[in-house]
Amino acid sequence: MARYADLSIPEDGKLVDNITHFARALRRAGLPIGPGRVRLAIEAVAAAGFARKPDFYWTLHAVFVNRPEERQVFNQIFRLYWRDPRYLEHMMSLMLPAIRNVAEEKAAESAAKRAAEALLDGAQAPEPPQSGDDSDNTEIQIDASQTASADERLRHLDFEQMSTQEMADAKRMLARLHLPVRPLKTRRLRPSPTGRRPDWRASMRAALRHGGEMTRIYRRAPATRWPALIVLCDISGSMSQYSRMVLHFVHAVANRRGQGWSKVHAFTFGTRLTNITHHLRSRDVDAALNAAGAQAQDWQGGTRIGACLRAFNVDWSRRVLGQGAVVLLISDGLDRDDPALLGHEMQRLHLSSRRLIWLNPLLRWDAFAPRARGVRAMLPHVDSFRAGHNVASLDALARAISDTDDHGEKARLMAMLND
Amino acid sequence: MSEELSSIDRVQTLLRAHAYVADRALSTVVYLALKLQRPVFLEGEPGTGKTEIARTLATALGRRLIRLQCYEGLDASSAVYEWNFAAQMLAIRAAQATGDAQAIKDTLFGPEFLIERPLLEAMRPQPGGAPVLLIDEIDRTDEPFEAFLLEALSDYQVTIPELGTIKATEAPIVILTSNRTREVHDALKRRCLYHWVDYPAFQRELDILTARAPEASATLSREIVAFVQRLRSEDLFKKPGVAETIDWAKCLLALDVVELSPEVIADTLGAILKYQDDIARLQGLEASRILDEARQSLAPS
């Protein structure tokens, strides 16, 4: 390896510099590498030597890579960098400002849009009604009653029939809804006065304080923890309006602290499955949903529910459903694929989740019957089947989610299915 | 560090001598771990030999293997130490009866009443050198325990309020494994050398099988490995690991099979596939198709 000849003397600092620069390149590519890692890398290379390129590669790999998905990035940057360090530096310096500008512009754009909207709203807001000489009291009363009835109407208005203004109001209502959930018992113990297991450690400590006289037995009971919520949201053409609203709701749930759920994972599917969980962490709901939409890229495409559920079952279910998760499936169940596959994957999803709740906007019609092949295949494998087409229905979901006896409309529709 | 591990090649040879076929990447990581005294974090699909490397290392180096199997709810008292409270209580009562209060006071929180659990044991000097500490399936614990491990793994010490901090005189060789059922926190990974254990390529898997099940004939071994390798490219819910390959080979040997056939495969499918869906898919024609393809891939060589 002739090109490493000049690297072989650590004392001249060149190797150290090179590793440091290499680490910087990796960091720019998104790998989380701190100074501690760089030091470890230098130590490791000094320990392993660099007589052979594969050893050098695997040494740096062991130090810098932390996740399987980082291997690809590492591999590419390694090849680029150790061919000619300056080349990559050059490329990075050429590219980075461009990337940074785009990112900044994007952020500014979204912020500017909202600022403009806010300003416009202010400008176009109707003048406060001239109330003449009426007393303040009466005016407030009338106003309040109107708001209440408007809210009530909005609660029951179908998402699809809403105007932009109503949509915005509904989003605000959704953001206030809760999804309360019951905690799960774990094997971890915590002190509890009514617990069934004696806590010898605590009892002894207390006894020692009284000169070895045990005055009271302390007790422990299983600690509780919150389950995770997994949202699988259909974003195909027929669903797009609903899924946007439901995702607004999910965003609110994911970002409310102290409301139960340990984690909220969200996936969208249409023609393929997309994990949008990290977009939900964005505080700004519009930015989050835009980012999610950009990643999903199949908004309003066709639907392949079976294949997408399969993708979820194979790639994700063991990773996110492990700890007693509740699954919320939002779909109209109109699938063009093989119903056998769909039924099969639904069954697997059902078996690996604690509770599987299906929200279907089509259920808003009284005449809804499980006629579509997709619906017939999916229905037997859910715990609860509910409507999800307006604010009121999502509110009802909030009340039903931790009620294990709640089956929604499942029994009624199953009866129709069996007829 | 002992003489036999002074280079990556030697690590590889030593592991090989104990029937563990490690590729260059894994040998490098193990070598670095020994040299820099850092824990190794091994991640990968189940059955790719993550736990086995710890066992092999312990045997090869003549060290003791201390295993901490993780589970949800694992806490300090079952991982590090626990006081034998019942014995302490008895001792106090006995001391009260004999009036020997001072003596009991000195020994109450001493080694006599300390129950050591894996982490503390691993910090203790062991005959033959520092032990191999295997922290298995770290992804099964909860996050508080992961955080707890940080002290133990970065400074090789544990703190017991009554006794003070116990520091390992010689750092144990630590191997953590994860099946990646969930993401382990970066803070823990940062203290370790990371390696993703992948399914082996054909030749390496054949080497592993030959090392592990030497009684299988060369032809059968090749067929088995080709079939399993081909099977992994199928759309399965759970792909078979190397452990399954070895199990299957042993299973076939027990049945005196000399050559794979669709019937034999159908009878023994449970040894390689662990999900009913996958087994159902592989019944009948599917199995013979894959077998044919596997045989074709063997033909030219």
**Exposure b/e, B262-276, CB count within 10 A at least 16 = b:** bebbeebbebbbbee
Say which residue the tokens 């090649």 belong to: B9
- Find out whether B163 and B178 touch, Cβ atoms under 8 Å: no
How many helices (DSSP H) and strands (DSSP E) are in chain A? Answer: 17, 9
Q: What is the pLDDT of residue A90?
A: 63
* pLDDT confidence tier of residue B89, bands split at 50, 70 and 90: confident
B35, B36, B115, B275: best to mutate for the A interface, most A CBs within 10 A: B36
**Does the pLDDT value for residue B299 go beyond 70?**
yes
Q: What is the pLDDT of residues B121-153, one digit of tens each?
A: 999 988 888 999 999 999 888 878 888 888 888
**Does the pLDDT value for residue B106 go beyond 60?**
yes
- Find out whether B53 and B11 touch, Cβ atoms under 8 Å: no
Q: Shortest CA distance to A305 belongs to which of A232, A394, A247, A229?
A: A232
Helices (H), chain B: 8-17, 24-36, 50-61, 76-79, 85-98, 101-107, 118-123, 143-155, 186-190, 202-212, 218-232, 242-254, 262-268, 276-282, 285-298
A43, A57, A67, A219: best to mutate for the B interface, most B CBs within 10 A: A67
* B residues 133..172 contacting A (CB < 8 A): 142
Say which residue the tokens 């190794």 belong to: B40
Q: What is the pLDDT of residue A87?
A: 64
Q: Collect contacts of A108-112 with beta carbons under 8 A, ≥24 apart.
A: A110/A284, A110/A286, A110/A287, A110/A290
Q: What is the pLDDT of residue A195?
A: 87
A217 touches chain B (CB under 8 A): no
- Find out whether B175 and B54 touch, Cβ atoms under 8 Å: yes
Give the chain A residue nearest B29 (alpha carbons): A62
Q: What is the pLDDT of residue B209?
A: 94
> How far is it, in rounded angstroms, from Cα B205 to Cα B203?
5
| 8 Å CB contact of A319 and B142 | no
> How far is it, in rounded angstroms, from Cα A299 to Cα A270?
7
A204, A230, A309: best to mutate for the B interface, most B CBs within 10 A: A204
A186 touches chain B (CB under 8 A): yes
Q: Which of A47, A67, A344 sits opposite B36 (nearest CB)?
A: A47
B19 touches chain A (CB under 8 A): no
Low pLDDT (below 70) residues in chain A = 1-13, 84-149, 257-259, 283, 297-302
| 8 Å CB contact of A212 and B96 | yes
Give me the sign of the Cα torsion angle B190, B192, B197, B203: positive
Residues 6+ apart with CB under 8 A from A223: A185, A186, A188, A189, A190
Give the count of beta carbons closer than 10 Å to the beta carbon of residue B79: 21
Q: Which of B28, B71, B83 sits opposite A58 (nearest CB)?
A: B28
A42, A45, A50, A61: best to mutate for the B interface, most B CBs within 10 A: A61
**Helix crossing, B24-36 with B50-61: angle to 10°?**
60
Q: What is the pLDDT of residue B18?
A: 92
DSSP assignment of A8-43 equals --GGGSHHHHHHHHHHHHHHHTT----HHHHHHHHH
A177 vs chain B: nearest CA distance in angstroms?
29
Q: Which of B29, B96, B182 sits opposite A58 (nearest CB)?
A: B29
Q: What is the pLDDT of residue B248?
A: 95
Q: What are phi and psi of A381, to 5 degrees?
A: -105, 20
A308 touches chain B (CB under 8 A): no
B86 touches chain A (CB under 8 A): yes
> How far is it, in rounded angstroms, from Cα A111 to Cα A191?
48
**Helix crossing, A285-296 with A85-124: angle to 10°?**
130
| 8 Å CB contact of A186 and B86 | no
A277 touches chain B (CB under 8 A): no
Local structure of B281: helix, strand or coil: helix
A200 vs chain B: nearest CA distance in angstroms?
6
A188 touches chain B (CB under 8 A): yes
Q: Average pLDDT of B158-165?
A: 85
What is the number of CB-based contacts under 8 A between chain A and chain B? Answer: 96
* pLDDT confidence tier of residue B181, bands split at 50, 70 and 90: confident
- Chain B residues in contact with A318 (beta carbon < 8 A): 181
Local structure of B165: helix, strand or coil: strand
B28 touches chain A (CB under 8 A): yes
Q: Which of B8, B35, B181 sits opposite A55 (nearest CB)?
A: B8
Give the chain A residue nearest B37 (alpha carbons): A44
Q: What is the pLDDT of residues B220-261, one digit of tens each?
A: 999 999 999 999 988 888 889 999 999 999 999 999 998 899
On whether ipTM exceeds 0.85, the answer is no
Give the chain B residue nearest A310 (alpha carbons): B237
Give the chain B residue nearest A347 (alpha carbons): B277
| 8 Å CB contact of B193 and A44 | yes
| 8 Å CB contact of A322 and B35 | no
> How far is it, in rounded angstroms, from Cα B190 to Cα B31?
18
Q: What is the pLDDT of residue B202?
A: 94
Q: What is the pLDDT of residue A299?
A: 63
